[in-house]
Amino acid sequence: MKIVTADFLTAAERQDGYPRGGLREIAFAGRSNVGKSSMINSLLGRKNLVRTSKTPGRTRKLNFFLINAQFIFVDLPGYGYAAVSQTERESWGSMVQTYLESRKELGGVVVILDARHAFMESDRNLIEYLSHRSIRFLVACTKVDKLTKSKISLQKRMVLEILGDSAPLIMFSAHTGEGKNELWKAIRTLIAG
Ligand SMILES: Nc1nc2c(ncn2[C@@H]2O[C@H](COP(=O)(O)OP(=O)(O)OP(=O)(O)O)[C@@H](O)[C@H]2O)c(=O)[nH]1
Ligand SMILES: [Mg+2]
């Protein structure tokens, strides 16, 4: 994918803040600090378009980015960050849930897992939720640069056991760019609808 332009559009908490224009959107979802923002930067070949952070739970709104004036990437706030208050967790839930349930422009979701960790309950819940609502998605295991080749294939098998053939699975690293072409290919399929 040739990226000609990639610009921050807007941040929104509620539906009236979502961008208008009807362009198709791809949302990035995953646990807090899993590497969502880094993945978007890597895909777009931009170092700092999306703010990344060592402190989990920094992305607290839906962040919309316009790509090539053709489609939109949505960086969703991460889930499962223990240090935020119950109220904040609930507001996360309703913020993301409202988006996923109502957004007509949503072409699909990139569900991001940390390649070093097993599926957590929150990850399973998200995948079940998406399947249940017939929202298309793919799964990307990120940070594979931290694993040996054999650990990567072990992890892949583990995820596939749960995922089956319900969605594509891609092993990825924002640091090395591994899996980037494959991920773009899968995203293009979602954009094409
Ligand atoms: N080794 C390695 N580190 C990564 C990779 N992707 C992200 N990180 C690191 O993981 C941390 C979190 O990355 P972010 O991209 O900010 O994660 P996020 O999911 O957007 O986090 P929140 O917005 O806080 O939920 C940062 O310190 C990144 O440098 C990767 O592919 N490999
Ligand atoms: Mg982020």
Q: Are the CB atoms for 184 and 1 separated by under 8 Å?
A: yes
Q: Say if 188 falls within a structural domain.
A: yes
Any atom of ligand 1 within 6 Å of the Cβ of 47:
no
Q: Domain with 68 in it: what CATH number?
A: 3.40.50.300
pLDDT tens figures, 102-146: 999 999 999 999 999 878 888 998 999 999 999 999 999 999 999
Number of domains into which the chain is organized: 1
Q: What percent of the chain has pLDDT over 70?
A: 92
pLDDT tens figures, 7-27: 999 999 999 999 999 999 999
Any atom of ligand 1 within 6 Å of the Cβ of 38:
yes
Instruction: Name the residue at shortest CA distance from atom 2 of ligand 1.
Output: 143
Query: 39 CA distance to ligand 1 centroid (A)?
Result: 8
CB atoms within 10 A of CB 45: 13
Query: 170 CA distance to ligand 2 centroid (A)?
Result: 20
Backbone angles phi and psi of 186, in degrees to 5: -65, -35
Closest ligand by atom to 36 CA: 1
Instruction: Name the residue at shortest CA distance from atom 14 of ligand 1.
Output: 35
Q: pLDDT grade, residue 93 (50/70/90)?
A: confident
Q: How far, in Å, CA of 90 to CA of 82, rounded?
A: 12
Q: Mutate which of 44, 47, 52 to test ligand 1's pocket (most atoms within 8 Å of Cβ)?
A: 52
Interval 47-51 mean pLDDT? 82
- 17 sits in the region (left: phi over 0; alpha: psi -120 to 50; else beta) called alpha
Any atom of ligand 1 within 6 Å of the Cβ of 63:
no
pLDDT tens figures, 167-192: 999 999 999 999 999 999 999 999 99
Q: How far, in Å, CA of 153 to CA of 35, rounded?
A: 20
Q: Say if 143 falls within a structural domain.
A: yes
**Residue for token pair 């590497």:** 35
**What does the DSSP assignment read for 57-110?**
T---SEEEEEETTTEEEEEPPPB--TTS-HHHHHHHHHHHHHHHHH-TTEEEEE
Across the chain, mean pLDDT equals 90
Any atom of ligand 1 within 6 Å of the Cβ of 41:
no
Asked whether residue 70 carries a pLDDT value surpassing 70, the answer given is yes
Any atom of ligand 1 within 6 Å of the Cβ of 35:
yes
Which range is least confidently modeled, 45-49, 98-102, 169-173?
A: 45-49
Which residue segment(s) compose the domain that 92 sits in?
Answer: 6-192
Q: How many residues does the chain have?
A: 193
Q: Say if 102 falls within a structural domain.
A: yes
pTM over 0.75: yes
Q: pLDDT grade, residue 76 (50/70/90)?
A: very high
Q: Say if 187 falls within a structural domain.
A: yes
Burial class (CB in 10 A: 0-12, 13-18, 19+), 22: exposed
Annotate 148-177 with b (16+ C-beta within 10 A) or e (fewer). eeeebeebbeebeeebeeebbbbbbbbeee
Asked whether residue 83 carries a pLDDT value surpassing 70, the answer given is no
Q: Say if 1 falls within a structural domain.
A: no
Q: How far, in Å, CA of 165 to CA of 51, rounded?
A: 33
Q: pLDDT grade, residue 81 (50/70/90)?
A: low
Using the atom order of ligand 1, give the atom closest to the CA of residue 38.
Answer: 15
C-alpha distances (whole Å) from 186 to each of 73, 180, 193 are: 14, 10, 11
Instruction: Name the residue at shortest CA distance from atom 23 of ligand 1.
Output: 59
